[in-house]
Amino acid sequence: MTKEEFINSGLLEEFVLGLTSEHQDKVVLEHLDMYPDLCPQLKKWEFSLEELARKNAIAPSSDLKNRLQQKLDFHDTNSAAILKKANNTSLINRKFWMNIAATYLLFATLGLIYFAYQNRQLSKQSEQLVMENAKLSAEKNDLESVNRKFSFVREVETQVLQFSDKNKPVGTVFINHSLQKTSFKISNLASPPAQKVFQMWADVDGEMVSLGVLDAPQNGDLIDLPYMKNATSLNITIEPLGGSKTPTVANLVATIVI
């Protein structure tokens, strides 16, 4: 029989259930020699049926063992060799199952350790990815914000004026009347004296209107200023911390006529 034919014959199942004749036993054993990969399946079924029998075990009378001892002739000279073999065989079976159990245990433990390690690594990577994502998202928002600011600067209608202090440029003012927007890009503004701040002013109809205090200005910053429709000039003065209600003309740093 081919392996497939042997499997489909059901002989192996009949063998493990003890239903085969002596001739069929020989056929099964020959085929197990030919196809040794079927042996583990046989061992599993044998183990299961033994367990089934154990779970359905019933105890005979307690004196049966004594009656059996009387019935058996232990003086038979062949018996020693026979039982030595039996002892070895049970040992072999025990060893076989212990090996199976140990192998299973080893693989299961290694598998658990491996999956736990993988899980930990993936969790770490996942946390890192979340952090990276948040960081990239923040950077993207900043870039979009800068882009929006600079897109206004690039508009054709935007008026570009240089802010100078004694012929030295301190920054550039961008004014767009259509968009009603004013920005100031700081380029070369020195730090204010201690306990002082720079304050922006607009001359509107002859009156100086505060446009705000330049809080810790850095060269390169693009600062949005309030749009003043009728402003005729812009001015920067040095004022006490917190700013002033009216400009200190003596501390005028820079001025520009619009």
Partner 1 sequence: MAVEKKLEEEIMTLYDKYNNALFGIILRIVKDQHIAEEVLQDTFVKIWQNLDHYQSSKASIFTWMSKIARNLSINAIQSKAVKKAGFTYSMDQLKEDNIAENNINENFDLRTHINILNHDQKQIIELVYFNGFTHQETHQHLGIPLGTVKSRIKLALNSLSHLFFVSDSTKFLIFFLLIQWQ
Using the minimum distance from each CB to partner 1, give the nearer residue, 17 or 134: 17
Q: How far is the CB of 143 from partner 1 (least distance, A)?
A: 50
How far apart CA 131 and CA 216 sit, in angstroms, is 30
In sequence order, the β-bridge partners of residue 190 are none
Tokens of 235: 């001015």
- Per CB under 8 A, residues contacting partner 1 are 8, 10, 13-19, 29, 32, 42-61, 64-65, 67-69, 71-72, 74-75, 78-83, 85-90, 92-93, 101, 104-105, 108-109, 112
Nearest CB to partner 1, comparing residues 81 and 250: 81
Least gap, CB of 35 to partner 1 (angstroms): 13
Between CA 59 and CA 98 the distance in angstroms is 27
Q: For residues 107 and 130, what is the distance between their CA atoms, to the nearest angstrom?
A: 34
CB of 121 to partner 1, least distance (A): 21
Question: How far apart are the C-alpha atoms of 228 and 109, rounded to whole Å?
Answer: 76
Work out how close the CB of 64 gets to partner 1 at its nearest, in angstroms, rounded to a whole number: 5
* Cβ-based nearer residue to partner 1, 74 or 229: 74
Residue 70 token pair: 């009387």
Beta carbon of residue 119, minimum distance to partner 1 (angstroms, whole number): 16
Residue with Cβ nearer partner 1 (67 or 140)? 67
Taking CA atoms, 199 is separated from 133, 214, 244, 245, in Å, by: 39, 6, 8, 10
d(CA 107, CA 205): 88
Q: Which C-beta is closer to partner 1: that of 65 or that of 140? A: 65
Given a contact cutoff of 8 angstroms between Cβ atoms, the answer to whether 236 and 250 are in contact is no
Q: Which is nearer to partner 1, 86 or 160 (CB)?
A: 86
Least Cβ distance, residue 14 to partner 1 (angstroms) = 7
As a whole number of Å, the end-to-end CA separation of the chain is 106
